[in-house]
Structure 1
């Protein structure tokens, strides 16, 4: 049975920076990852998540700070001396070599005995459920199967850490869902430590024990998936976690952590994130599924429907207020394009941030 190496208790990034000329791709990154954790690095393109992963792997040198496995500094080691497993977006399989040969390549380069290679490749194939495909070439496999081979190749060396750089981005939607479940199953079965780079919030939420949100090379928030989904600390984190509606207005009342914000003469309530004073400008952030079309109400935003899409059990549309605010909303019935509707923001799930 393959078991991940337990040779460390924590990986620590201590004020890590990485610059490309005058561009600071990573700025003062401090992060501690415990043995057995599944960590997702989440953020938009160019936020520094792949740069951070490559610095951990040794494929890029940090230009400041240090990286530690317990009390051993590793940022000055070559990639091969760190012994980490890496899964790339492009699979990076040798097209002329069989699945078995691809999986066993790292062990062969380490001088592992042939019998031991065969045994561990068998175990890795069983773990990724590809026992019947070991003799095939990568080109004879589906995209999902090729990614499983890449995962098997990464874990067969029994690394202390598995690094995954957007491994599902080349797969179709159905395969992505299937492979998500497989990656988490493999992680749990191995007891491995995994760092997973993604720009997909759904992937991060479903896979990770903790999510690290990056923006412009800096860590914006670290937390459990539910914490980031329900209580993002900053407006930019909220936007990335699906709070696509942002309504700016003046705070007219405050009661504990609840505030009332007047937007286009309509009073909207939300839970305050950070400190906001009465009279100050604030932004109410809400997910599309918390903005709903309702029958006439005095305390609802009037808006003209611009688009409407059928999504199975409901409709999702965009509408614009007279003042130019765009709202993305859900509705049980289709609204006619060009019609005026009333949109209510659920106060139980709306968040308020200082503007």
Structure 2
């Protein structure tokens, strides 16, 4: 017996583990997802995000813990009994079937009467804006259109959850941007619940209500896009959220909420995000927030490269110790020039003990 269409209030992952022989891919995930949320599982390759999705879908059994839909345990059910919608990277469309038949395949397997099937397929075609392509074969469609067919096939069965595993990774940059907007529009118009796997922080930021950052099979941080963008709790999360510059320094004091960090003889200010048990600490700064100061303050670097990027310039500088820093500049700089780089204290995050 299947779970039924969109009737749940919460999905609970309770201590979910997944082991492959001696390797533990998931280390006791605890997470609650509310009905209607768009959740992004974000992290680098091998962090466990696709494994987590496959465990929720039933494509992999859990090694420990439980997956609950409200008070119903679903990790003991077969994938088809869970009734979740799944969108893969490779679309997995039947090449010999028309768009309409691909979308209606799951309904036919469920024995849905033809009048109801046609009505729901029409609604799904309208949701993904493919009414005019209904009679075509997948090979006659663009990559973005094929992905829309895959999404329509997932939502037409009215699943309680839609699970997406890096669905845009095979598309070019322009199509990815268009499909991001389309996926968000479909999610909002249907009021569905979506769990979306990605390694792209821009995708996660633009799509998700909440982002779950994973590393080495464990959850590192859960929060809204704004929370994770501005205040990552760990250095590895900061690195993944675009804080590309990581500079080692020595913690020399605090002034109010500002940490004072000595970097190669220059003291900079930043927000303390993780307490230090000693004096060693790391400053994390986004390239867009680090700019030439035009004064005697800031971290001294030698300019190694400068690229024009439309509204401004992107530079790479090297400190006396060899640390490479990426920065923004409103004006061009000559290679080999000596400049000092600085950022507002609120844009500099300081992590003690390099964690």
Q: TM-score, normalised by structure 1?
A: 0.96
How far 1:339 sits from its partner (Å)?
2.2
SS in 2 for 1:45: coil
Q: What is the aligned counterpart of 1:314 among 312, 315, 333?
A: 312
Gaps of 5+ in 1: none
What is the match of residue 101 of structure 2? 101
User: Are residue 29 (structure 1) and residue 36 (structure 2) matched?
Assistant: no
* Superposed counterparts of 1:37-116, under 5 Å: 37-116=37-116
How far 1:255 sits from its partner (Å)?
2.7
What is the match of residue 327 of structure 2? 329
The question of whether the paired residues in 2 share the 8 Å contact of 1:100 and 1:134 is answered with yes
For residues 283-341 of structure 1, what are the alpha-carbon distances to aligned partners after superposition, in whole Å with 9 as ceiling and x for unaligned? 111100111023241x2111112222111101112111111111000011222222222
What is the match of residue 293 of structure 2? 294
For residues 92-151 of structure 1, what are the alpha-carbon distances to aligned partners after superposition, in whole Å with 9 as ceiling and x for unaligned? 100110000000000000011111111111110001000000000000000000000000
How far 1:274 sits from its partner (Å)?
2.7
CA distance in 1, matches of 2:256, 2:197: 37
> What's the C-alpha RMSD, in Å, of the aligned pairs?
1.2
What is the match of residue 284 of structure 2? 285
Structure 1 residue ranges (4+ consecutive) displaced by more than 2 angstroms after TM superposition: 274-277
The question of whether the paired residues in 2 share the 8 Å contact of 1:198 and 1:204 is answered with yes
The question of whether the paired residues in 2 share the 8 Å contact of 1:319 and 1:327 is answered with yes
What is the match of residue 339 of structure 2? 341
The question of whether the paired residues in 1 share the 8 Å contact of 2:6 and 2:161 is answered with no
CA distance in 2, matches of 1:231, 1:348: 10
How far 1:345 sits from its partner (Å)?
2.6
Gaps of 5+ in 2: none
How far 1:9 sits from its partner (Å)?
0.6
For residues 21-71 of structure 1, what are the alpha-carbon distances to aligned partners after superposition, in whole Å with 9 as ceiling and x for unaligned? 111111110000010000000000110000000000000111111100011
What is the match of residue 128 of structure 1? 128
The question of whether the paired residues in 1 share the 8 Å contact of 2:6 and 2:158 is answered with no
What is the match of residue 161 of structure 1? 161
The question of whether the paired residues in 2 share the 8 Å contact of 1:252 and 1:260 is answered with yes
CA distance in 2, matches of 1:223, 1:301: 32
CA distance in 1, matches of 2:51, 2:257: 37
For residues 214-270 of structure 1, what are the alpha-carbon distances to aligned partners after superposition, in whole Å with 9 as ceiling and x for unaligned? 000000000011000000000100000000111111111113321100000000100
* Superposed counterparts of 1:178-193, under 5 Å: 178-193=178-193
How far 1:6 sits from its partner (Å)?
3.0
The question of whether the paired residues in 1 share the 8 Å contact of 2:250 and 2:263 is answered with yes
CA distance in 2, matches of 1:224, 1:303: 35
SS in 1 for 2:259: strand
The question of whether the paired residues in 2 share the 8 Å contact of 1:5 and 1:192 is answered with no
User: Are residue 241 (structure 1) and residue 241 (structure 2) matched?
Assistant: yes
CA distance in 2, matches of 1:323, 1:51: 41
The question of whether the paired residues in 2 share the 8 Å contact of 1:98 and 1:135 is answered with yes
CA distance in 1, matches of 2:257, 2:279: 15
What is the match of residue 177 of structure 2? 177
